[in-house]
Amino acid sequence: MCLAIPAEVTRLLPDDTAVVSIDGVSKEISVALIENLAVGDYVIIHVGYALTKIDPEEARRTLELLRELSTEGQGVVQ
């Protein structure tokens, strides 16, 4: 199974790269597949590549769902 995660673009860098924030964690990724990208845009990332832009509200909802899922699993005996 593959997981693609929404991230906010916080800085554009040379050579088709950018820094994104994933729930406060910064990561440098390739944005070679995205045109007209700006700081503040949200993208879906997978294995270090931005695949597409995403609506900011949809990105926030998805990140909130991921947070809920991660806290629901805490305290469960495995």
Residue 41 in domain: yes
Residue 65 lies in a domain: yes
Residues 6-25 pLDDT 10s: 999 999 999 999 999 987 89
In a domain, 12, yes or no: yes
Instruction: Grade residue 74 by pLDDT with cuts at 50, 70 and 90.
Output: low
Q: What is the total count of domains within the chain? A: 1
Q: Tell me the HSE value of 22 on the side-chain side, using a 13 A CA sphere.
A: 16
Domain holding 21, by residue range, is: 5-72
Q: Is this prediction's pTM over 0.85?
A: no
pLDDT at 1: 58
Confirm whether 46 is domain-assigned: yes
Q: Is 77 among the domain residues?
A: no
Q: Could you tell me the CATH number of the domain that includes residue 23?
A: 2.30.30.140
- Nearest CA to 45 among 55, 65, 30? 30
The answer as to whether 17 is a domain residue is yes
